[in-house]
Amino acid sequence: MTNGAARPLALTLGEPGGIGPEITAKAWRTLRAGPQSEKPANRMADWPTFCLVGDLALMAAHGPAQAISSPLEAASVFPSAIPVIDCVDARRARPGTASPETAPAVIASIERAVALALSGEAAGVVTNPIQKSALQAAGFGFPGHTEFLGELTAGAPMPAGRTRGPVMMLAGPGLRTVPVTIHLSVADAARTLDAERIVHVASVAAEELGARFGIARPRLAVSGLNPHAGEDGRMGGEDGDVIAPAVARLRAAGIDAIGPMPADTMFHAAARAGYDAAICMLHDQALIPVKTLAFDEAVNVTLGLPIVRTSPDHGTALDIAGKGVASPASLIAALRLAARMATP
């Protein structure tokens, strides 16, 4: 078996009516050039090869595309055309519109890409954005990619010493954040938050930062839930009753964790220098700082899977789909990060 850097990545179709096809073609045009002369040879992960798991006709409308039967054929095709494993029909898609009619194609693309990664044919999975409302209108029973990927990989063994997730991480230059609660309302997130979940999420993050990111002893900063981390109980008891005991358990387990910290003072430059990842209690606590600091470069990573999975940290952008103005920067960052994570 070739190593992770040599195998291509499996890129999913995503919402075919969104910007996924456009940014896929733009990412291919950037990456097919390969390392430039001034790039060191050991930076091949910065120029990964990918194959799209999707609809050949759809991609051919955005650039040269060629059908392949296996990801192992992608490298020879990549310099001249987008390699496509032509396995779904998204012909009903219309730019700017997300329809339940194309949901089966979106779901099948994810399933096939995960299977390719589990088999070792692909180095990992990079997912184009999906439109959750359209999928759920078609009967999709998951809040988003993260939960679906956890289900698809549930039967595959985890590497030795690693805890199963799935756990979401947002990674940008200079900041990584990990939300403990994800696709919940603020009220439901506060109500369901418990120490067990915090410990689990933070433990997975610490293990994966070591195994996938090469950080020998990850430093975790754990946010509070309430303003000023509860201010000794005057603004809510969760920080002292739930989060502080969780941090104590993490430290007892040998994980370098501090907190609960007031979320409003965790993300300035000096604070970020003191940790490798921020463990956040709420979805927006984690996503707002990353998207503010690195909107075009942030990557969504799923930790605690037996495979590598990344995604651009933005949505389907239906309002600009078909206009030719979508930026591929976050998708390129996701492809590059997946290739680095897959490299032994």
Tens-place pLDDT, residues 240-269:
999 999 999 999 999 999 999 999 999 999
Encode pLDDT of 279-315 as tens digits.
999 999 999 999 999 888 899 999 999 999 999 989 9
Encode pLDDT of 66-107 as tens digits.
999 999 999 999 999 999 999 999 988 999 999 999 999 999
The answer to whether 191 and 238 have CB atoms below 8 angstroms apart is no
Q: Can you read off the two tokens belonging to residue 243?
A: 């989060």
Query: What's residue 144's pLDDT?
Result: 86
Question: What residue ranges in 180-267 does DSSP mark as E strands?
Answer: 219-223, 256-261
Query: What's residue 43's pLDDT?
Result: 57
Question: What residue ranges in 147-267 does DSSP mark as E strands?
Answer: 167-172, 175-179, 219-223, 256-261
Q: Can you read off the two tokens belonging to residue 223?
A: 């946010």
Enter the pTM of the model. 0.91
- Euclidean distance between the first and final Cα of the chain, in Å? 12
Q: Can you read off the two tokens belonging to residue 51?
A: 């194959």
Encode pLDDT of 34-65 as tens digits.
764 344 444 567 899 999 999 999 999 999 99
Query: What's residue 139's pLDDT?
Result: 94
Summary mean pLDDT of the chain:
92
Range scoring the smallest mean pLDDT among 29-43, 180-194, 202-216, 284-298: 29-43
Query: What's residue 1's pLDDT?
Result: 32
195-211 vs 244-252: helix axis angle to the nearest 10?
Answer: 40
Query: What's residue 271's pLDDT?
Result: 96
Encode pLDDT of 218-229 as tens digits.
999 999 999 998
Query: What's residue 44's pLDDT?
Result: 60
Q: Set out the domains of the chain in order of their start, with CATH numbers.
A: 9-157+306-342 (3.40.718.10), 167-289 (3.40.718.10)
**Cis peptide bond prior to 166, omega within 30° of 0:** yes
